[in-house]
Copies of this chain bind each other. A is one copy, B any other.
Amino acid sequence: MSKIADVGHAIAVLQWDKEVYLPKGSATFRSQQIATLSSIAHELFTSDSFSDLLNKLSVDDSLSEEQSRNIALTKRDHEKSTKFTTEFIVKKSQTISTCFQAWLSAREKNDHTIYLAPLTELMKIVREEAEILGYEGHPYDALLDYYEPMLTVEKLEALFTPLKQELKTILHKISSRPQVDNSILHKHYDKDEQWKFGIEVLRNMGYNFDMGRQDIAAHPFTTSFSSQDVRVTTRIDENDLGNMTWSCIHEGGHALYEQGLDPKNYGLPLGKYISLGIHESQSRLWENNVGRSKTYWSHMLITLKEHFPNQLTDVSVQDFYKAINKVAPNLIRTEADELHYHLHVIIRYEIEKELMEKTLEIKDIKSAWNTKYKDYLGVDVPDDNNGFLQDVHWAHGSIGYFPTYSIGSLYAAQFFDEASKEITDLDKQIGNGDNAPLLEWLREHIHKHGQFYDAEDLCKKITGEGLNAKYFIDYVSDKYAEIYGF
């Protein structure tokens, strides 16, 4: 496992370098090198000797509880990856390549028709994949399981139905109130000063720069080469302070999770994050529950003003708090506010589910998309780059990924609610700029366990119940009622 992890982390280094430092003419060999290492990792994981070892260890009753869990989870992944023939893997990978190129062309030419045939082909393979993997309820369940083990359509419906309804209600209330002005975020903010502030934000959260670093990337991401080398990236827009700030806090949240995994479990399930939803819960908790709260900024606005005294003279905490929580419908998921965000996700979820059910065909995606945007968000989609071509996920064959973004926010709200009950004066501590008690709580209850618990079990262990959308709904209802005065 350690050897396989070494190869996997080498791939991560090559990918990180590709995103942050690769010269523009150097991509061809880099892609080849990543492909070679990927095939080596796959060979190691699916080799006969590895299978034999797993089979032997899975009936070994001298193992500790931790060891048994490591073996059981590895066996689960191993069985999944041995279900596919090499031909299937090659076919899928080639179709993804073609589809991704078609997506790039379609975006470049703003012509979605280029993309339809390759995506139809890829969708066929993805459906085949679901059949090979197997499922009990809905074919979509087989795919959801990749990103969020044990998540099903049934569970998602129970979460998304009230969420969608309540969001509509809150948004309706907001729309009837005076709107928020966030122009202070769009003054000119010097790049170098923003960078320095971002570093302070990360330090203040507890990110360890002795075992990590920040660099610039076009699309911010976090990557880990071991829990002792977890790197974040950010981007800076001189006319949008929010872009860098919340990408920094978001990636910082991901990074704190990775830095909190136990290095002695390197390469093992117990040294790895549970699921994308739990990972996202950590980034969202810091980004929103902490990073868009009034208490957080009652401290951090002082620091921010040291970097930008001219731009922020006379701006009160309350003004700033309102500006950073402005709610307005828009076309692009990654630029959405805390409320509309989930409508963007639900639209994608509904389309994916119907594609898997074959009640929707690829050629009808565009109209389904545009209709739902008008219906849920009230916006007209002017062109496909601002419509269904905006995300890369489908072109990568990643069906079932989007829901984890919302799942993350729901877990975040539920965890933060519990943390607020358990940690004495959490609000006051954050207001004093001291995030250590919160980080310690997350480390103790979530990070250090790796995959020892499933997501649902972990949630029950921490909060006394499974994932429940109620916490998120309560959080946003209270918050936006105060901001918009309804």
Contacts and interface: CB of A to CB of B under 8 A. Distances in A.
A197 to B, nearest CB: 21
A14 B263 CA distance: 19
A475 B32 CA distance: 45
Interface string A1-39: 011001101100110010001111110111011001100
A158 interface: no
A305 B7 CA distance: 48
A174 B73 CA distance: 74
A30 B225 contact: yes
A391 to B, nearest CB: 29
Contact of A228 (B10, B29, B209, B215): B29
B225 A25 contact: no
A210 interface: yes
Contact of A229 (B6, B23, B40, B209): B23
A228 B28 contact: yes
Given A28-B228, A226-B29, A266-B29, A212 B9 contact: no
B210 A25 contact: yes
Contact of A14 (B10, B26, B226): B10
Given A26-B226, A26-B229, A212-B23, A33 B9 contact: yes
B33 A10 contact: yes
Interface string A388-407: 00000000000000000000
A33 B6 contact: yes
B210 A24 contact: yes
Contacts of A63: none
A213 interface: yes
A14 to B, nearest CB: 6
A3 B225 CA distance: 22
Interface in A85-106: none
A211 interface: yes
Interface residues of A, number: 36
Given A23-B229, A26-B211, A32 B6 contact: yes
B6 A36 contact: yes
Contacts of A30: 225-226, 229
Contact of A213 (B23, B225, B263): B23
B9 A29 contact: yes
Interface string A339-357: 0000000000000000000
Contacts of A3: 36
A468 to B, nearest CB: 38
Interface in A246-294: 263, 266
A211 B248 CA distance: 30
Given A23-B210, A40-B40, A209-B23, A225 B29 contact: yes
Nearest to A9: B33
A174 B215 CA distance: 51
Contacts of A210: 23-25
Interface in A155-206: none
Contacts of A21: 213, 215
A225 B40 CA distance: 18
A225 B225 CA distance: 19
A37 B6 contact: yes
A32 B32 CA distance: 23
A9 B36 CA distance: 11
B37 A7 contact: yes
Given A13-B17, A25-B211, 13 more contacts: A2-B32, A3-B36, A7-B36, A7-B37, A9-B29, A17-B17, A22-B229, A23-B210, A23-B211, A24-B210, A25-B208, A29-B229, A30-B225
11 contacts: A6-B36, A7-B40, A9-B29, A13-B13, A13-B17, A23-B229, A26-B225, A29-B226, A29-B229, A30-B225, A30-B226
What are the 10 closest A-B residue pairs judged by CB atoms, nearest first?
A26-B229, A29-B226, A6-B36, A25-B210, A25-B211, A6-B33, A26-B228, A10-B10, A23-B211, A3-B36
